[in-house]
Amino acid sequence: MPALRVLSFGLGPIGAATARLALTKKTIQLVGAVDIDAAKKGKDLGAVLGLAPTGVIVSGDAEAAFAELRPDSILHCTSSFLPVVKEQLLVAARHGIDVVSSTEELLVPDLQHPDIAREIDEAAKKGGATILGTGVNPGYAMDTLAVFATAACRSVEMIECWRVVDAGKRRLPLQKKVGAGMSADEFRKEVATGRFGHIGLRESIALVGRACGWKLDTITQSVESVIAERDEKTEFLNVKKGQVAGIWNHGIGKEGGRVRVEMDLKMFVGAKDPFDAVKVTGHPPMHLRVEGGTPGDLATAAMLVNMLPRVAAARPGLLTMLDLPVPGIAT
């Protein structure tokens, strides 16, 4: 197999980590990079990533870069929200370029945006491109892991997932994303925007529900703050006792009034004993646990890169993790 010719689209913290990982893989040749940030455009990708020169110059024009470089695939890390990335994905689809994206809403694209999902799916099929949204969460720790757990079951009644992340060990954007150091009032105002905190819990619930054949008619979630019980100090910021240490995101998926999927995500500075866990109520019951949890930033970059060869081999269209081969490391 010749190496996949890959373009990195979006060089924020996750995109940069993903590009750095892609550069280490024998089966991937990084042929291009795109970012709209004026501070990155025109620079060697190596300089942007804090590495030696790569010979790849960061472009500010995705469509021009696609047309010129004709990559097989793009690693796409630009936004959490499908309406924001819609045009980016359509351009890739029309050029027949496969996409592995960290866009959280793309995990189950038709959940919140059925029209956009249909348009992208049609463009992908027409252009011969495969498009997938994934990452560690959503994409792995709270959804695909739960689906995997059900494979050993004759029947399944309900699925519960927990994830506890020590935000103090994560990058600054994640610490800010969970509100560390905010007052409770500031936190509530941010939550009211609908664009704050973890994005994708609804999509995780929907993915698990679909895998189990449940028609979830209600998917609800709540976002609360976790208040620091003592002063906490991370590499990047301080959280005083009484300030917000992080986020508690809780979601439920119901089928005909019956709770089928329940998810509980806590990400805060000072969390002790982080872990991921899945409990399947069924026959037989299954309890899976990731001791210490799946490390977020590392694992998101890993999932994006590891799914690349699987996406390259898949049929065209807007697919989900349920359509792709079992995830595993790419060599």
Question: Three-state DSSP class for 310?
Answer: helix
Output 21 or 239, the one with its CB closest to a copy of itself: 21
Residue 136 interacting with a copy of itself (CB under 8 A): yes
Site map 27..66 versus a copy of itself, x via CB under 8 A: ----------------------------------------
Output 59 or 294, the one with its CB closest to a copy of itself: 294
Site map 96..135 versus a copy of itself, x via CB under 8 A: ----------------------------------------
Task: Tell me: cis bond preceding 327? Omega within 30 of 0 counts.
Answer: no
Instruction: In angstroms, give the least distance from the CB of 204 to a copy of itself.
Output: 14
Residue 315 CA to residue 44 CA, distance in Å, equals 34
Output 104 or 190, the one with its CB closest to a copy of itself: 104
Site for a copy of itself in 244-303 (CB under 8 A): 282-284, 286-292, 294-295, 298-299, 301-303
Interacting residue with a copy of itself among 9, 66, 140, 196 (CB under 8 A): 140
In order of 144, 175, 226, the CA distances from 130 in angstroms are 19, 33, 39
Q: Say how many residues touch a copy of itself, by CB under 8 A.
A: 49
Output 252 or 305, the one with its CB closest to a copy of itself: 305
Which among 249, 241, 269, 261 is positioned nearest to 183, based on CA atoms? 241
Instruction: In angstroms, give the least distance from the CB of 21 to a copy of itself.
Output: 5
Instruction: Quote the distance between the C-alpha of residue 240 and its chain's center.
Output: 30
Q: Position 192: which residue type?
A: A
Tokens representing 248? Answer: 């508690």
Interacting residue with a copy of itself among 64, 67, 84, 151 (CB under 8 A): 151
Residue 58 CA to residue 46 CA, distance in Å, equals 10
Is 46 exposed, middle or buried (CB count within 10 Å of its CB: 0-12, 13-18, 19+)? middle
Instruction: In angstroms, give the least distance from the CB of 239 to a copy of itself.
Output: 25
- Residue range at the interface with a copy of itself (CB under 8 A); choices 46-54, 113-121, 150-158, 238-246: 150-158
Site for a copy of itself in 191-220 (CB under 8 A): 211-213
Interacting residue with a copy of itself among 64, 67, 172, 322 (CB under 8 A): 322
Task: DSSP for 236-293, please give it.
Answer: S-EE-TTSEEEEEEEEEEEETTEEEEEEEEEEETT-SS-EEEEEEEEES-EEEEEET-
Residue 119 CA to residue 85 CA, distance in Å, equals 13
Q: What angle do CA 217, 131, 82 make, to 5 degrees?
A: 55
Output 65 or 305, the one with its CB closest to a copy of itself: 305
Interacting residue with a copy of itself among 114, 155, 172, 238 (CB under 8 A): 155
Output 223 or 321, the one with its CB closest to a copy of itself: 321
Question: Three-state DSSP class for 204?
Answer: helix
Question: Three-state DSSP class for 77?
Answer: coil
CA-based torsion, 38, 42, 44, 47: positive or negative: negative
Residue 289 CA to residue 95 CA, distance in Å, equals 41
Output 242 or 325, the one with its CB closest to a copy of itself: 325
Q: Which residues bind a copy of itself (CB under 8 A)?
A: 21, 24, 136, 140-141, 144-145, 147-148, 150-156, 211-213, 282-284, 286-292, 294-295, 298-299, 301-303, 305-307, 321-329, 331
